[in-house]
Structure 1
Amino acid sequence: MNPDDDLARALAFAPPTDPYVVCWRDLDPTSTTEELERLADWVTWATTRYTLDHKVIPACWPHHGAIVEELSALRTFWESSYQPDAAPSEPLAFHRDLTLALRRLRDWTSLLGCTRTTHRPQAGS
């Protein structure tokens, strides 16, 4: 995959018209793959937009359930914050909660021990 194509897609990213909450526990394997691809588009956009590095979101994030759950929740909040009927304060609420989520992501990533180039599977994975 060409990094320039990823960047172009990330910068052109727009929220879908109907945000929805994903319950990862209830997804079948096909739906999980589809949702991970959809989430990956948003993560690419967010890491570019907010200049997030591997210490916050490691490249292997799809292999870590807690990180997937956090990123999915953030995406849902972001999508709902930018809907036409959203309150004008919703983007600020998203950014307030983003600060807390980034702390959690840093903590989880630090505990996992994954690096920019190396994935460390979690115990029991």
Structure 2
Amino acid sequence: MPADDDLLQALGLGALSDPQVICWRDLDPKTATDELDRLATWLDWFVDRYYLDHKTVPPCWHAHGALVEELSALRTLWEACYLEDAAPSDPIGFHRDLDTTLRRLREWTSRLGCSRINHRPEMHT
């Protein structure tokens, strides 16, 4: 079993440090690509850890702005609750917020109509 620092390193988070709050709107294309890669690394672990399926996080999540924003915010919260100076109750708070987030992800994914094998681009009107 990896140590906490090993897990954070594997997830591309380095040593325990302040979480990065990402404002996707302000990122240049190169930084956005780097952040998507970092988010994807964490998300691979997260989806496996919480046994989530395509109805919650579709394979094309990265093509949907709302899903990127929600998942990025969730990762930031997860990072914050495991900092060295986090309160002992922070992980419980994360899981309370996780419940709400998973409901929103399922609703958005359902509206998008994407499946395990088919991506439906968003239609902006």
Q: TM-score, normalised by structure 1?
A: 0.87
- Report sequence identity in percent: 59
- Partners in 2 of 1:84 and 1:55 — Cα distance? 34
Report the equivalent of 1:119. 119
Q: TM-score, normalised by structure 2?
A: 0.87
Amino acid across the alignment from 1:43: L
Report the equivalent of 1:101. 101
- Cα contact 1:13–1:42 (8 A) shared by 2: no
Tell me the secondary structure at the aligned position of residue 56 of structure 2: coil
Report the equivalent of 1:83. 83
1:70-99 Cα shifts (integer Å, max 9, x gaps): 000000000000011100000000000000
- Partners in 1 of 2:119 and 2:103 — Cα distance? 20
Give structure 1 stretches of 5+ with no counterpart: 1-11
Report the equivalent of 2:52. 52
Report the equivalent of 2:3. none
1:73 aligns with 2:62: no
Deviation (angstroms), 1:124: 2.8
Report the equivalent of 1:30. 30
Amino acid across the alignment from 2:37: E
- Cα contact 1:82–1:91 (8 A) shared by 2: yes
- Cα contact 1:13–1:45 (8 A) shared by 2: no
Report the equivalent of 1:41. 41
- Partners in 2 of 1:53 and 1:60 — Cα distance? 12
Deviation (angstroms), 1:20: 1.2
Deviation above 3 Å: which 4+ runs of structure 1? none
Report the equivalent of 2:63. 63
Deviation (angstroms), 1:52: 0.3
Amino acid across the alignment from 2:75: R
